[in-house]
Structures are given as C-alpha cells and as structure tokens.
C-alpha cells in the first residue's frame, strides 16, 4: 500500500495550542461563568475578558455566550450499525440503553456556546474546540448556537423595549436559482424600534428558528418588515420551508447523487458524491484521505463482479465502522478494475491509524492512499468538477 502524506499547517498547530490553553484555563473559569448563568446576569468583566482573549486565540472571528443549556437532542438512531455482520446482542443492548430512562445522565444546567457567525474557518475551529472539551456534567459545550423554538415564545428586552416573540410573524421567498431563502420578520412593535434594533431582532428570530449553521447554509438575507405580511407565518415554519427547498432542489437518495455513464476508453463509470454539501457539514473533518482500491473481478458491463462487489462493500462497511463520527465518505468513483474513494477525517481524532489498518488486509491488489489537510475541501471540489453540470446548485 503506497502512502503519501502532507504536513500539518502552522495555522492548525497554532489553533490546537489555543484550544489546549482554553481547556487548561477552564477550571478557573467554570465557577464565575456558572454563577452568571444561574443569576441570569452578565459575566463579570474580569472573567469575560479572560474568556474573550482565549476564544479569540482559537479564531479571531469567534464570539461566545453563556446561558441555560438547551434541551438535549433526542437519541440519534441514524448512527446505529444495521449491517448484516453486526453483533445482534450488541445492537439490542444499544437499543435497550436508548429506551431506558435510567441510563440517561442528568441534563446539563449551563451551556457555553461559541459563535462563529458566517466564518467557515471559525466554524471549523469551534468544532475542534467542542470535540476536545472535558467531561463536565453541569455544562454543554456548543460549537454554534442551536435552534431554540422555546425561545420564540419568550419575552426579550432589547434597547429598553420588552418584546414578546410569540407575536412575531414572517414571510419567506425561496430563490430556486441559489437554493437560499429571503426572510422578512414582523413584530407589532417594529414601528417603535430603531433600524439597528429591528435588524438585530429579525436576525435573532431566524437564529432561534434555524440555529446558526442552518441560517448560514440556507438564508440569503433577513429584513425587518414595517407591516404584517399578507400571508403571515410563524417563525417555527422556517425549518419546514428549508426542508422542502432542499428536497426540491438538492440531493439524491440519502443525501447522495449517483451518475452512471461510459467514459472514453474506460468502460462503465459510476460516480457518487454527497450533495448538497457545504462547509457547515462535517466541520471537524478537514483531513482528505483518498484511497484507490483495485479489484480483481469485472463483470461484462464493466462494473465490479459479484465477488469483488461484495469485498468492496465489506471494506466500505469496515472503514465506516472504524471511523464512527471521526470521518465520512464524501465521494466514490468506480471504473473497470478500480474504485476511487475520498474520505475526510478529523485530524485530531487519531482515526487515521485504525483506518489504515483496515486497508492492509485488502487481497485484490495494491491500494494507494494519499492524505492532505484540506479545510477548504479543494480535493473534493476537484474530483467533482467534471460532473458539476449534473449537480444542481
């Protein structure tokens, strides 16, 4: 198996040191932040200055906030391994644990949230920060502000005005060419507010409805409205509109698009890639790992023969299992005699070594593997380029 590697950039090394410094300081920051969250008051100037300096060292575009922890998400069943070779007893044990209320830890009381805003580079670092957080039962460490529909029923104070967010209504316009949405936000008190406060309030409402990541992914602009929309909608309807737009414009089955064709002198070609995909998806996965896998048996139509197809699928299942949430397959292309797979891994997780171990047992030829740090996903973009016209948006 041939291996080609590239070194870690200095920027990544600097941010790793900054993240380490933050968590080393956490024990001295924990109590003053908790006291502020419990009393629902601003963090003391001294503690706020320290946290700000530590957060800005991770990435200068990051902000932060402290408050009550949002409700924990429901258990995610999509990561359960349901393949035929999984141990049934292990699967049943995991399902039983999800059903057992006694197995669930006491929910955290407080949340420390980093705010990357529209900066994709800052979002990568906030994810790395959250993944390296220590175990702390009283706290949740969030890499971006999540959606909070309960917040849309509360009263907030802005520039001396008490504003009941349950009175907010919105309008939406879907731009099918860009796959993004323009949102108008109306509150009956808008006429009494300055332009700056109205815009801040409108952004706040959309943030509560979607969360920070989906707001960056799907919202083109947010404007305050002077008058109630002709067809007013509650802000809680924004996520459903986003889902409808994505279903209409975007991806194939399961978030993938698959193309079949015949290449000049190459026989049958099958190309599959995640779509739609933004840098807000899998933000911690910045190490591109490209694996070229030869296979021995080719069918008459140029696709892998039955035995090679089974072996390739087994290899992919094993790689996915060893990676867990520390890596993901982004693209694969099959031509007669070989399959080209592109994974992205979390470079700080240690996942590369076990990933390589799983490749060593391949018996149908010599694999080639190359790696490079690629936060901008230029490798994925380059492999997608010949097929770009087939992918909407």
User: Which DSSP letter does residue 152 get?
Assistant: G
Does 92 score more than 50 pLDDT? yes
For the residues 257-285, what does the mean pLDDT come to?
A: 87
| Residue of 180 and 91 predicted with greater confidence | 180
**Spatial CA neighbour of 345 closest among 281, 280, 287, 291:** 287
User: Which token pair is 173?
Assistant: 């316009």
pLDDT of residue 82: 55
Identify the helix (H) or strand (E) that includes residue 311: helix 306-323
**Residue 288, beta-bridge partner list:** 344, 372
How many residues in total does the chain contain? 393
Tens digit of each residue's pLDDT (9 = 90 or more) over 134-181 = 999 999 999 999 999 999 999 999 888 999 999 999 999 999 888 899
Tens digit of each residue's pLDDT (9 = 90 or more) over 359-370 = 998 999 999 999
Residue 379 CB contacts under 8 Å (≥ 6 apart), including other chains:
288, 290, 342, 372
301 pLDDT band, cuts 50/70/90, is confident
For the residues 175-203, what does the mean pLDDT come to?
A: 94
User: Rounded to whole angstroms, how far apart are CA atoms 38 and 232?
Assistant: 36
The verdict on whether omega for the bond into residue 276 sits within 30 degrees of 0, i.e. cis, is yes
Tens digit of each residue's pLDDT (9 = 90 or more) over 1-44 = 555 554 455 556 678 899 999 999 999 999 999 999 998 889 99
Does 216 score more than 50 pLDDT? yes
| Residue of 253 and 126 predicted with greater confidence | 126
264 pLDDT band, cuts 50/70/90, is low
The per-residue b/e assignment along 171-204, b for 16 or more CB within 10 angstroms, e otherwise, is bbebeeeebbbebbbbbeebeebeeebbeebbbb
Does 90 score more than 60 pLDDT? no
Handedness of CA 140, 141, 146, 148 (dihedral sign): positive
Tens digit of each residue's pLDDT (9 = 90 or more) over 312-330 = 999 999 999 999 999 999 9
Q: What percent of the chain has pLDDT over 70?
A: 84
Cα→Cα distances 350→75, 261, 323, 345, Å:
25, 37, 10, 9
Enumerate helices (H) and strands (E) in the chain, giving the number of each. Answer: 10, 15
User: Rounded to whole angstroms, how far apart are CA atoms 250 and 178?
Assistant: 11
**CA neighbours closer than 13 Å in the CB half-sphere of residue 67:** 11
CB 71 within 8 A of CB 111: no
pLDDT of residue 104: 47
User: Rounded to whole angstroms, how far apart are CA atoms 128 and 289?
Assistant: 19
For the residues 182-200, what does the mean pLDDT come to?
A: 96
350 pLDDT band, cuts 50/70/90, is very high
Does 47 score more than 50 pLDDT? yes
pLDDT of residue 312: 97
pLDDT of residue 255: 81
Does 102 score more than 50 pLDDT? no
pLDDT of residue 101: 46
User: Which token pair is 305?
Assistant: 């023969």
For the residues 264-286, what does the mean pLDDT come to?
A: 88
CB 235 within 8 A of CB 170: yes
Does 393 score more than 50 pLDDT? yes
User: Rounded to whole angstroms, how far apart are CA atoms 69 and 112?
Assistant: 8
pLDDT of residue 321: 96
CB 83 within 8 A of CB 317: yes
Phi, psi for 354 (deg, rounded to 5): -65, -30
In which residue are the tokens 């200055």 written? 49
Q: What percent of the chain has pLDDT over 90?
A: 72
pLDDT of residue 88: 59
Identify the helix (H) or strand (E) that includes residue 248: helix 238-249
CB 158 within 8 A of CB 200: yes
pLDDT of residue 268: 85
| Residue of 185 and 245 predicted with greater confidence | 185
User: Rounded to whole angstroms, how far apart are CA atoms 321 and 79?
Assistant: 10
**Spatial CA neighbour of 185 closest among 243, 215, 152, 228:** 228
**To the nearest 10°, the Cα dihedral for 373, 376, 382, 384?**
120
User: Rounded to whole angstroms, how far apart are CA atoms 246 and 279?
Assistant: 16
247 pLDDT band, cuts 50/70/90, is confident
Tens digit of each residue's pLDDT (9 = 90 or more) over 73-88 = 444 444 455 555 555 5
Phi, psi for 337 (deg, rounded to 5): 95, -15
Does 105 score more than 50 pLDDT? yes
């Amino acid at each position: 198996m041939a291996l080609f590697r590239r070194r870690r950039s200095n920027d990544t090394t600097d941010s790793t040191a900054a993240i380490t410094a933050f968590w080393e300081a956490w024990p001295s920051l924990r109590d003053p932040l908790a006291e502020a969250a419990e009393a629902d008051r601003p963090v003391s100037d001294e503690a706020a200055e320290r946290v700000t300096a530590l957060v800005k060292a991770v990435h200068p575009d990051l902000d932060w906030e402290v408050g009550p922890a949002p409700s924990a998400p429901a258990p995610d069943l999509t990561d359960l391994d349901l393949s035929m070779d999984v141990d049934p007893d292990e699967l049943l044990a995991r399902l039983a644990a999800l059903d057992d209320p006694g197995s669930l830890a006491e929910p955290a009381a407080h949340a420390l949230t980093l705010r990357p805003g529209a900066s994709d580079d800052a979002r990568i670092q906030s994810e790395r920060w959250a993944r390296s957080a220590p175990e702390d039962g009283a706290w949740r460490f969030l890499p971006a502000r999540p959606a909070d529909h309960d917040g849309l029923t509360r009263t907030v104070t802005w520039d001396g005005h008490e504003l009941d967010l349950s009175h907010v209504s919105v309008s939406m316009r879907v731009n099918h060419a860009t796959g993004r949405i323009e949102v108008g936000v109306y509150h009956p008190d808008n006429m009494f507010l300055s332009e700056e406060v109205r815009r801040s309030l409108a952004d706040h409402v959309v943030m509560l409805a979607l969360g920070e990541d989906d707001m960056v992914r799907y919202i083109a602009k947010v404007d305050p409205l002077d008058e109630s929309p002709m067809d007013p909608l509650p802000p809680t309807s924004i996520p459903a509109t986003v889902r409808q737009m994505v279903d209409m414009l975007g991806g194939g089955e399961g978030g993938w698009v698959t193309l079949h064709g015949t290449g000049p002198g190459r026989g049958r070609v099958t190309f599959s890639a995640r779509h739609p995909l933004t840098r807000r998806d899998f933000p911690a996965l910045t190490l591109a790992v490209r694996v070229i896998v030869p296979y021995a048996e080719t069918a008459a139509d140029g696709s892998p023969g039955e035995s090679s197809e089974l072996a390739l699928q087994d290899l992919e299942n094993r790689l996915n299992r060893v990676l867990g949430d520390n890596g993901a397959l982004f693209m694969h292309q099959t031509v007669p005699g070989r399959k080209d797979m592109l994974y992205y891994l979390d470079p700080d997780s240690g996942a590369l070594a076990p990933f390589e171990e799983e490749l060593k047992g391949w018996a149908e030829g010599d694999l080639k593997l190359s790696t490079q740090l690629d936060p901008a996903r230029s490798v994925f973009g380059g492999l997608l380029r010949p097929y770009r016209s087939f992918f909407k948006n």
